[in-house]
Amino acid sequence: MSDLTAGIIVIGDEVLKGQVMDTNSHVLCKRLRACGISVRKVIENCLDRYDSSELFLSFNGGKDCTVLLHLVSAVFQKKHAHSKSQALRTVYIQCSDPFPEVESFIAESAERYNLDVICMSSPIKVALEKLLLKNPNLKAVLMGTRRTDPYSETLNHFQGLH
């Protein structure tokens, strides 16, 4: 039996208001238990492997990446507790016509989580290429990806470029 633990954060107005039942937590618990690894441990490994100047978090204000932001921020702040001013570099790839609520949420999250937000207004591939050209020191991105997302079923925790 592994001594690794995990926490699950359930978000979403529909779930929190009781309009929709959360069925994902059950499946997630089974998978985590089968793997014997916690999400927090993967994030700790990433922050041990890469210096904060070498990584960034992809954040668009959606539910999945907000959960990832919360988890990464908790581990990041613990690791950098000695430096309260250490901001987590975050890239927000803005769509062509963003909702004002999303823009507000991004700004509120930047304040709440001490984020250094880089806003880019290009398709994701172009935006990431531009980002890497301007910041050649970047080596890793934290992205919230579901196994059920297109082309994601075979991804590993640490995935190199092909």
Domain-located, residue 152: no
DSSP alpha helix (H) spans, the chain: 13-16, 24-35, 39-49, 63-79, 100-113, 124-134
pLDDT for the residue 105? 94
pLDDT for the residue 161? 59
pLDDT for the residue 37? 61
Identify whether the C-beta of residue 124 lies closer than 8 Å to the C-beta of residue 93.
yes
- CATH, residue 62: 3.40.50.620
> Please, what is the Cα angle at 144 between 106 and 110, to 5 degrees?
20
Domain-located, residue 78: yes
Based on the fold, state whether residues 9 and 77 are members of the same structural domain: no
Based on the fold, state whether residues 43 and 32 are members of the same structural domain: no
pLDDT for the residue 157? 76
* Each residue's pLDDT expressed in tens, for the chain with a length of 162 residues: 455 556 565 656 665 666 666 666 667 766 766 766 666 678 888 899 999 999 999 999 988 888 889 889 988 888 887 877 789 999 999 988 999 999 999 999 999 999 999 999 988 889 989 999 999 999 988 888 777 778 777 877 777 654
Based on the fold, state whether residues 43 and 122 are members of the same structural domain: yes
Smallest CA-to-CA distance from 110 within 83, 90, 80 is with 90
Domain-located, residue 154: no
Is the alpha carbon torsion for 124, 28, 3, 73 positive or negative? positive
- What backbone phi and psi angles, to 5 degrees, belong to 118? -105, 115
Tell me how many domains the chain contains: 2
Based on the fold, state whether residues 10 and 46 are members of the same structural domain: no
DSSP conformation letters of 126-150:
HHHHHHHHH-TT--EEE----TTST
What's the pTM value of the predicted model, to 2 decimals? 0.73
- Helix/strand/coil for 42: helix
Q: Give residue 5's domain range.
A: 1-37
